[in-house]
Amino acid sequence: MTARPTHVRLRAYAVGLGDCLLLTVEYGSKLPDGRPERHVLIDCGSVAPSGPPLAAIATAVAEHCAGRLDVVVATHPHPEHVNGFTDPDASEVLRSLKPSVVLRPWTDRDASALPPARTATPTLPPEWDDRTQYLRAGDTVALDEALPHVSVQVLGPPGPERTPALVARGEPWFALDAAGALPPQAEPTADAWADAARVLADPGGVGAAAWLLRALHDHPVGQQMEIADAYNDLAHNTSVVLLVTVGSRTLLLPGDAQGASWAPVLADPALARRLGAVQVYKVGGHGSAAATPAELRRLWARRGPTHPLVSVLSADAAAPDPTVLADLAQRGPVCSTDTLPPGVWWLDVEAPAHGRKPFTCSPGAARPGQQ
């Protein structure tokens, strides 16, 4: 008989602005391969200089999983989540851990169903290709060997049938691209303003169109930022969202999913009930309001000291929304990597796999030479 889980731990590394988490399941006896643990790496990336180098984080992950990963999850293609898989030094370490299964969003394989991306899909180590599963909401993940007696339910990203809901959120840029319009053009030439003035009016003035010409001339940066934000939100909504059950414990790992991705989940009464009972929530979007919508927080309205929700936040160099933090703090402890003492690179949220004993949150040990 296969050993059963006895303990679960979610370790969040202080990578600066980014996410890197290691989910560890301990078993009561050795599994068929002789190991008493299983390890899942969820993302590994950073875009802020405040954290340790990614190669050092990858080395710590290798130590903490005893040289072997079972599952890797690359939730979505933003660099603060996945650039550890492409960083030359960090990638070399992670490749040596030889995960059995790699989980990615379906959009990493078939981006043609979405508007053209402005950033390239990240390239994970090529030897992982034959062990990669590309996921969408409702998929069943085959993890019986990699994670015995652990249930993993895929809640996101929405599949191709819901693409219109992702792109029809007041973002005309998506509609234009989907219709085959040209992408944004290069910067105008130095004499473009003078050329426009000559076309719109007699030499020496631009007449009644002056206000329009000034707006086009003075505000291109704002329009470009709107376009960038729109594509940024779409990438968030391609996040792999996982509901993980270990024994009687449930953990919600949502990447950076935002409103359009949460909408079909929250509209399903059965899923909403399950989300309302989760015990650990990896806070999406580094604490942004869009990634933890009010509708989701309302599911936890009755949580508190007797049935706490433990929130795990990677927020160093980011600015979490104060309303979101206040709401989560009323539901239970908020464990944030930006509160770790100097020289400590991770925090642990853990509990027995069965029973009602609450999850505890504690800082890791200081790294040698980092105190």
| Judgement on whether residues 340 and 291 belong to the same structural domain of the protein | yes
| Judgement on whether residues 62 and 188 belong to the same structural domain of the protein | no
| Judgement on whether residues 46 and 194 belong to the same structural domain of the protein | no
Amino acid at 84: G
| Judgement on whether residues 294 and 187 belong to the same structural domain of the protein | no
Q: Is residue 223 part of a domain?
A: yes
Buried b (16+ CB within 10 A) or exposed e, 176-211: ebbeeeeeeeeeeeeeeeeebbeeeeeeeebeeeee
Beta-strand relationship, 71-73 and 249-253: unpaired
Rounded-to-integer distance, Cα 59 and Cα 260, Å: 36
Tokens coding 141: 């993940």
pLDDT band at residue 173 under the 50/70/90 scheme: very low
Output Rg (C-alpha) for the chain, integer angstroms.
Answer: 23
Rounded-to-integer distance, Cα 87 and Cα 263, Å: 34
| Judgement on whether residues 147 and 86 belong to the same structural domain of the protein | yes
The residue from 204, 228, 252 where one domain ends is 228
CATH code where residue 139 lies: 3.60.15.10
The residue from 207, 228, 249 where one domain ends is 228
Print the domain residue range for 215.
170-228
* Count of structural domains, the chain: 2
Q: What's this model's pTM, rounded to 2 decimal places?
A: 0.83
Omega within 30 of 0 (cis) for the link into 157: yes
Q: Is residue 368 part of a domain?
A: no
| Judgement on whether residues 220 and 243 belong to the same structural domain of the protein | no
| Judgement on whether residues 257 and 319 belong to the same structural domain of the protein | yes
Q: Which of 280, 283, 363 is nearest to 320 (CA)?
A: 283
CB-based contacts of 200, cutoff 8 Å, min separation 6: 206, 207, 209, 213
**Least confidently predicted of 88-102, 118-132, 242-256, 278-292:** 118-132
Three-class secondary structure of residue 249 per DSSP: strand
| Judgement on whether residues 125 and 67 belong to the same structural domain of the protein | yes
The helix or strand, by DSSP H or E, that contains position 32, with its residue range, turns out to be none
Q: Is residue 290 part of a domain?
A: yes
Cross-strand pairs, 245: 151, 250
Q: Is residue 370 part of a domain?
A: no
| Judgement on whether residues 118 and 211 belong to the same structural domain of the protein | no
| Judgement on whether residues 305 and 359 belong to the same structural domain of the protein | yes
Q: What would the pLDDT profile of 256-304 be if each residue is shown by its tens digit?
A: 999 889 999 999 999 999 999 999 999 999 899 999 999 999 999 989 8
Q: Is residue 163 part of a domain?
A: no
| Judgement on whether residues 124 and 267 belong to the same structural domain of the protein | yes
Q: Is residue 115 part of a domain?
A: yes
